[in-house]
Amino acid sequence: MNVRPIQESDIETVIGLFRKNYGDDYAMPEFYDPQWVKRGVYSDNIVWLVLEDEGKIVASGAIILNFGDYNDQIGEIGRLVVDPDVAGKGLGRAMLEALVDASDEHAEFVFAEARTVHPKTQKINDRIGLVPLGFLPLHYMMAWRESLVFSGQLFGNGRALRRIGQAEVIPALEPLAKLSLKNLELGEAVHVRDGLHPYPVDQQIDIHPLTASSLIRVLKIEQGRLTEPEIFGGGSIDEGLTQLQARKAKYVVASEGERTLGALGFIHHPRHDSIRIIELIAQDSAVKGSLLRWAIDHAQDEYAAQVIEVDASAYSPRMQQTLYSMGFLPTSYVPGMVFHQTARYDVVKFAKLNTPWELGPFELTESSQAYFDLVAPPFIQAAQEHENRLRALNSPALKNFTPLDAYLVNRAGHAFDVAHGATLEPNNIYLVVNGAFKQGERVIGRGGVFGAGIAFGETSDTDAIAQENSRVFALSKAELDKMCEMHPRLGIKLYQNLANLR
Taking the CA atoms of residue 285, residue 289, residue 290 and residue 296 in that order, the dihedral angle to the nearest 10 degrees is 160
Assigned CATH for 2-154: 3.40.630.30
The confidence score (pLDDT) of residue 427 equals: 84
- The full set of domain ranges for the chain reads 2-154, 168-375, 393-499
Distance, CA of 273 to CA of 139 (rounded, Å): 10
Residue 248 makes CB contacts below 8 A (sequence gap 6+) with 267, 268
| Whether the model pTM is above 0.85 | no
Looking at the chain, the whole-number percentage of residues with pLDDT higher than 90 is 46
- Does the domain formed by 168-375 have CATH 3.30.70.20? no
Helix (H) or strand (E) holding 91: helix 91-102
Mean pLDDT for 8-12 is 92
Q: HSE-up of 223 (CA within 13 Å, CB side)?
A: 11
Distance, CA of 451 to CA of 55 (rounded, Å): 80
Distance, CA of 336 to CA of 343 (rounded, Å): 8
Examine the pLDDT at 428 and tell me if it is beyond 70.
Answer: yes
Assigned CATH for 393-499: 2.60.120.10
For residue range 58-93, list pLDDT tens digits in order: 989 888 887 766 678 898 888 888 888 886 677 877
Contact predicate 158/109, CB 8 Å: yes
The confidence score (pLDDT) of residue 390 equals: 58
Helix, coil or strand: residue 203: coil
For residue range 388-421, list pLDDT tens digits in order: 665 566 788 888 887 778 878 887 888 888 999 9
pLDDT band at 147 (very low <50, low <70, confident <90, very high): very high
- Of the given ranges (62-66, 178-182, 402-406, 465-469), which has the lowest mean pLDDT? 402-406
The alpha carbon dihedral of 308, 310, 314, 315 has a sign of negative
pLDDT band at 232 (very low <50, low <70, confident <90, very high): very high
Contact predicate 184/129, CB 8 Å: no
Which residue(s) pair with 339 in the sheet?
344
The confidence score (pLDDT) of residue 434 equals: 87
**Left if phi > 0, otherwise alpha if psi is -120 to 50, otherwise beta: which for 156?**
left
Helix, coil or strand: residue 87: coil
Contact predicate 46/65, CB 8 Å: yes
Residue 474, amino acid: A
Examine the pLDDT at 336 and tell me if it is beyond 80.
Answer: yes
Mean pLDDT computed over every residue of the chain: 88
Distance, CA of 405 to CA of 20 (rounded, Å): 50
Q: What is the DSSP string of 247-272?
A: TTEEEEEEEETTEEEEEEEEEEEGGG
The confidence score (pLDDT) of residue 247 equals: 83
Q: HSE-up of 227 (CA within 13 Å, CB side)?
A: 7
pLDDT band at 106 (very low <50, low <70, confident <90, very high): confident
> CA 29 → CA 18, 22, 23, 139, 460, distances in Å?
11, 11, 11, 17, 61
Matching fold, domains 2-154 and 168-375: yes
What does the DSSP 8-state code read for residue 301? H
pLDDT band at 115 (very low <50, low <70, confident <90, very high): confident
Examine the pLDDT at 462 and tell me if it is beyond 90.
Answer: no
The confidence score (pLDDT) of residue 27 equals: 63
